[in-house]
């Protein structure tokens, strides 16, 4: 494993998957590649935990799936974002950004500010 890779924070995988498929339909392996690509290989994703997350999101109605053909002419299952998934992604992203601001603020605080 590459040393510069970071482990995924608890509970963020779902959000990343939603973001990945929001850019266009993807199969499972594609989701993995897309996340690695966007993160410039700085995130480590457990491949085994990807599929349970996909199934869970589909069960929650945030993404749907259908069988299609992959780039190299093979049958693959493609996931796409639903309207509910879009809304969810938006609220999750806002929540995350607010949280990141707060945390960053706390971490940057100096003794004088307290």
Q: What angle do CA 90, 94, 99 make, to 5 degrees?
A: 150
Tell me the pairing of strands 6-7 and 43-44.
parallel
* 39: its two tokens: 């993160």
Q: Residue 66 or residue 112: which is nearer to another protein going by CB?
A: 66
Q: Residue 38 or residue 58: which is nearer to another protein going by CB?
A: 58
Task: Provide, rounded to whole angstroms, the least separation between the CB of residue 78 and another protein.
Answer: 10
Task: Provide, rounded to whole angstroms, the least separation between the CB of residue 3 and another protein.
Answer: 17
Q: Residue 12 or residue 49: which is nearer to another protein going by CB?
A: 49
* 12 near another protein, rule: CB under 8 A: no
Touching another protein, residues 46-75 (CB under 8 A): 46-49, 51-53, 55-56, 58-59, 70, 72, 74-75
Touching another protein, residues 77-96 (CB under 8 A): 77
**Residue owning tokens 């850019």:** 23
Q: Alpha-carbon dihedral of residues 100, 105, 107, 113, nearest 10 degrees? A: -170
Q: Alpha-carbon dihedral of residues 86, 87, 91, 97, nearest 10 degrees? A: 30
């Amino acid at each position: 494993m590459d040393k510069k890779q970071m482990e995924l924070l608890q509970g963020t995988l779902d959000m990343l998957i939603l973001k990945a498929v929001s850019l266009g339909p993807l199969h499972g392996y594609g989701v993995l590649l897309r996340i690695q690509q966007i993160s410039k290989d700085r995130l480590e994703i457990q491949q085994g935990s990807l599929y349970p997350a996909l199934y869970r999101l589909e069960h929650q109605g945030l993404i749907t799936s259908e069988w299609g053909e992959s780039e190299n002419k093979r049958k693959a299952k493609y996931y796409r974002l639903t309207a509910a998934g879009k809304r969810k992604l938006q609220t999750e992203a806002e929540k995350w950004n607010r949280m990141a601001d707060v945390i960053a603020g706390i971490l940057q605080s100096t003794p004088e500010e307290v």
